[in-house]
Structure 1
Amino acid sequence: MSAEAFLQSQLVVVKTQEVENLASRIHETNDIPDPYILRLIKGKFCTLERKPVEDYIEKYSYLGSREIIAFRQIENWSQNPNAINEVALWFSPPFKNIYPTSKVTISNLSDDGDFIVNRSIKLQIEGKELLNLAQPFSENKFLTNEDLRSHAFFINKSDLLLFYDKLRAIVPEQIQLIESNSDIRIKEEIRDQVQDIRNKFPRLNNQRATTTSSLEARLYEEAKKKNLIGKSSESCPIALVNFQLFTPYQMFSEGGNSSEHLGKKIIKNCGACNKLLMMYMGKGDHCPYCNEIYEGC
């Protein structure tokens, strides 16, 4: 069975988005490549729950406006008849206070064309090194990381092994996990463990005030108690919804551009109980843990 077929067979079972999100965070904090799949429906990338991915991408900030370009390039590429013989690469450079580390996402079509199969690999390298890694795949000269951010690259599948050789010099353990499909097996196990954690909160399903981000904060704390969260930094803070989403944990049910976020800001911790929140809050909102009112700042 090919790696793509194995990935699809293991991960195609639909779980709720908060489960997928936390499973990806666990992979990143443990320096494990993050394998995941998206549906391809009428030329659009969709979650396993059949929701268009672009609906969850923040497009209007500086980063969002750059990254949506690359996202659409990959989405358009998937409709090319030759895409079945190619692989898409997207390089995400660091960005101060937003993305602490570099990442590359490798994407290809499933054999039946119904899914886009992805692996995100976190790279502990600086932006200049990432630029040097990406440059050989393009005839264009990229002078800055920001030039790189808005471009996707497309290579023949036969060249993927050569690219893995380049990555092997940077993250040998991660490439070994990919070549043995161990990252997929680990992801399946992690998803099941996270689902077990999620099953402990059935009452939250009926609480209208519970947002995806507050639920995910609770699940994250439970995962920490079980020592599932590693010590490595994540490639993107969970509350920032953008194309770094191409790791699925940036896809929230609230939506990145929702008007409900106007006048609100992302709060990392509650000022009263110090619990991790990483959610949008405005003056008068309540902490989901201690019910303390947020007074703003």
Structure 2
Amino acid sequence: MRLVSYSPNDARDARDARDPIGAGEPVRYLGAQLGDRVVDLATLAGAAGTELPGDLLALVRAGQPALDAARALLTAGEAAGWPPAAVHALDEVRLWAPLRPGKVVGVGLNYVEHVAESSRTLDTDRELPDRPVLFSKPATAITGPGQPILHNADLTEQLDWECELAVVIGRKAFRVAEQDAWQHVFGYSIINDISARDQRRSGQWFFSKGQDSYAPFGPAVLTADEIADPHDLELGLTVNGETKQHSNTRHMLFRIPRLIADISSGMTLEPGDVIATGSPSGVGAGLVPPQFLQPGDLVEATIQHIGTLANPVLDAR
């Protein structure tokens, strides 16, 4: 299933006071995208006399029975016809970040060519790491498709991009062996690991990578069964239509089972957590001369089968 968080275009005046980050924004609903349509899963369930969670994070936390129920409802709906109230044209809704994770675990230096360009331009070690290089992004960094990446010139002159495959955790994981890691994957999405390169502090990346809007995420989550091999996906990124990154996830230095095993060796991964699996080469800091994002730019990160995550850059001052 291709799962999205959406609001109808005509629902802009609705408010969800429970979400201070989203205050003043429309209430978001859980949908399944089927081509150019979005089917509201809670409405579909109600028409069938049952219930489903109303948002994607709740669906992930509800586990396999809820996911199986959603699939069954979609299958039945395709066969019998959709309740009109459950179906929206894709161009009549706004997509948001699919969910707000409890934590985002970033992986640095996970593509060999990116290790090389980082050692030239970012003073990182030129040797390949022998363990995953990890950092974190707070939930407040999450932003959705079409929403702006904030450029604050008081804080950075080196705002950079990184297209990455996002792994959404579906089951609690602690001290998980590599061979068992796939059981903990709910699905996949795209994350753009935005970085203020000139805000690293004594080698620490948190402020450089964790400011508001520095984790564009979406536009959908594909459940794990939709991706035959997550280590064979084309990925790339453009700025104003010009290609900056192009690679394939087969070039990951540490693959997804190793990442889950390493992270969970000392940190509990919870349902809805996201692992940003690292960037290929082609970041702005690695170009000659270096190039960085400016207000007015449009950044588009694309991963095969998942789609394109597009975000404008906005002057935040």
TM-score (norm 2): 0.26
Query: Per chain length, whose mean CA-contact separation is higher, i.e. which structure has more relative contact order (CA < 8 Å, sep 6+)?
Result: 1
TM-score (norm 1): 0.27
